[in-house]
Amino acid sequence: MLPRPSRAIVSAAIAATLFSAAPAVAQDFYAGKSIDLLVGAPPGGGYDIYGRLVARHIGRHIPGNPNIVPKNMPGAGSARAAGFIAKIAPKDGTVIANIMPGAVIGPLLDPKAEKLFDPTEVMYLGNVNNGTRVCISGVQSKIRTFDDARKIKAVFGGVSSNDSTRDYGFMHRKTSGAIWEMVTGYKGTPDLSLAVERGEIDGFCGFDWASLKSQRPSWLQDKVVNFLLQESIEPNEELTKLGVPHVMRFVTGDTNRKVVELILSQQVFHRSFIAPPGTAPAQLSILRKAFDDTMKDPQFLADADKLRIDVAPLSGERVQQVVRDLYTSPLDVVDLARAAINP
């Protein structure tokens, strides 16, 4: 008669079986399924371009090769899409979103706004690039340099709260001495760009440099606009070579510098992709690995090059930590930043 196996041996055997089966279940989960990728911006803009680019390639890196279906869900500077992800979307990794950084920093800087989601609780899959933004004016405008903007009255455009075009426009008035008037309510950067070309407004700020090169390559080739400022934590080498001054050259006082740095810190998670809070760990792990693999995929990078857009990714774990750190910023600086991005 064979000896009865010990309880410890049986337990170990069961654990080993479960451990080996878990990856197989996770690997099979997406077979025959679709993943909705919500783009928290209107069609045709930079976030739409990035969202659809990722949608074309990430499915190859997810076991089971699910179909990725991009769907635009603009509103409240991407907070509508983020709110759907946080409160309505299933937590099984079948709905993800691409959101603007203003949606992430918005609840911190605008406490009176409707809180559609908690940016510290959604699960970050990764970030496609660390962004630099620019402030531009049309060639027909009297504003040719940022120094002009501090002396000559002008009209600059913007979208809505939580959108960089609106928030940065006010920020420069409060911290750098711009005297332009702000006209908000535009639908997105495509509409603002048309308004500049038609002479309806003098210019606008907070335009992603990568998006500008993709959406409006003629602006560089034909010198259709003036580049007034580069808006980023650190100067962008390409813009510096073009002679575009960095924002900190015009910021007055140490306190204002801290305020501007806090506001611009959102560009570290410039084009983030998120999943719902409480997403099943197996699916979250698959999605994060697929995102990281996509960022290194030669086909993806070649496609990005054709679109003239930049790729400088951060992992989901790193973005998660950056957001948590942001929400522990000193309250006095946060209060001043809140005032800087509002009328």
Tens of pLDDT, residue by residue over 121-131, are 999 999 998 88
In a domain, 25, yes or no: yes
Q: What angle do CA 238, 126, 300 make, to 5 degrees?
A: 65
Which of the listed residues 264, 292, 318 is the one where a domain comes to its end? 264
Q: Are residues 260 and 140 in the same domain?
A: yes
Tokens in use for 278? 């409480």
In a domain, 1, yes or no: no
Higher pLDDT: 44 or 148? It is: 148
Q: Are residues 111 and 223 in the same domain?
A: no
How far, in Å, are 135, 144, 167, 183, 220 from residue 226 at the CA level? 9, 6, 20, 19, 9
- At 25, is the pLDDT very low, low, confident or very high (cuts 50, 70, 90)? low
Which of the listed residues 264, 283, 311 is the one where a domain comes to its end? 264
Tens digits of residue pLDDT in 180-227:
999 999 999 999 999 999 999 999 999 999 889 988 999 989 999 999
- At 18, is the pLDDT very low, low, confident or very high (cuts 50, 70, 90)? very low
**Host domain of residue 234:** 133-264
Query: What confidence score (pLDDT) does residue 27 get?
Result: 63
What is the average pLDDT across 26-48? Answer: 91
- At 62, is the pLDDT very low, low, confident or very high (cuts 50, 70, 90)? very high
pLDDT at residue 132 greater than cutoff 50: yes
Whether the CB-CB separation of 166 and 158 falls below 8 Å is answered with: yes
Q: Are residues 162 and 237 in the same domain?
A: yes
Ranges 21-30, 71-80, 142-151, 269-278: which has the least confidence: 21-30
Whether the CB-CB separation of 137 and 203 falls below 8 Å is answered with: yes
Which of the listed residues 241, 264, 287 is the one where a domain comes to its end? 264
Q: Are residues 260 and 138 in the same domain?
A: yes
Q: Are residues 114 and 18 in the same domain?
A: yes
- Cα–Cα distance measured from residue 241 to residue 226, given in angstroms and rounded to the nearest whole number: 15
What letter would DSSP give residue 119?
A: T
* Single-letter amino acid, residue 25: V
CATH code at position 163:
3.40.190.10
- At 267, is the pLDDT very low, low, confident or very high (cuts 50, 70, 90)? confident
Q: Are residues 119 and 188 in the same domain?
A: no
Unique residue bearing structure tokens 């709260």: 161
Sheet holding 95-99, edge to edge: 67-72, 34-39, 95-99, 272-275, 123-127, 314-315
Query: What confidence score (pLDDT) does residue 281 get?
Result: 95
- At 11, is the pLDDT very low, low, confident or very high (cuts 50, 70, 90)? very low
- Cα–Cα distance measured from residue 271 to residue 98, given in angstroms and rounded to the nearest whole number: 7
Query: What confidence score (pLDDT) does residue 343 get?
Result: 87
DSSP reduced 3-state for 206: strand
Q: Which of 258, 261, 296, 290 is nearest to 273 (CA)?
A: 290
Burial 45-71 (b: 16+ CB within 10 A, else e): bbbbbbbbbbbebbbebbbeebebebe
Unique residue bearing structure tokens 């009865």: 4
Query: Which pairing describes strands 95-99 and 272-275: parallel, antiparallel, or unpaired?
Result: antiparallel
In total, how many domains does the chain have? 2
Tens digits of residue pLDDT in 87-121:
999 999 999 999 999 899 989 988 776 788 999 99
- At 1, is the pLDDT very low, low, confident or very high (cuts 50, 70, 90)? very low
pLDDT at residue 241 greater than cutoff 50: yes
DSSP reduced 3-state for 38: strand
Burial 85-110 (b: 16+ CB within 10 A, else e): bbeebebebbbbbbbbbbbbbbbbbb
Query: Which pairing describes strands 155-157 and 203-208: parallel, antiparallel, or unpaired?
Result: parallel
Query: What confidence score (pLDDT) does residue 215 get?
Result: 87
Q: What are phi and psi of 214, to 5 degrees?
A: -80, -45
pLDDT at residue 24 greater than cutoff 80: no
**Whole-number average pLDDT of the chain:** 90
How far, in Å, are 54, 78, 131, 299 from residue 58 at the CA level? 6, 21, 21, 11
The H or E element containing residue 156 is strand 155-157
Query: What confidence score (pLDDT) does residue 26 get?
Result: 58
Q: Are residues 137 and 100 in the same domain?
A: no
In a domain, 4, yes or no: no
Higher pLDDT: 220 or 247? It is: 247
Q: Are residues 109 and 231 in the same domain?
A: no
pLDDT at residue 252 greater than cutoff 80: yes
Q: Are residues 102 and 250 in the same domain?
A: no
Q: Are residues 115 and 32 in the same domain?
A: yes
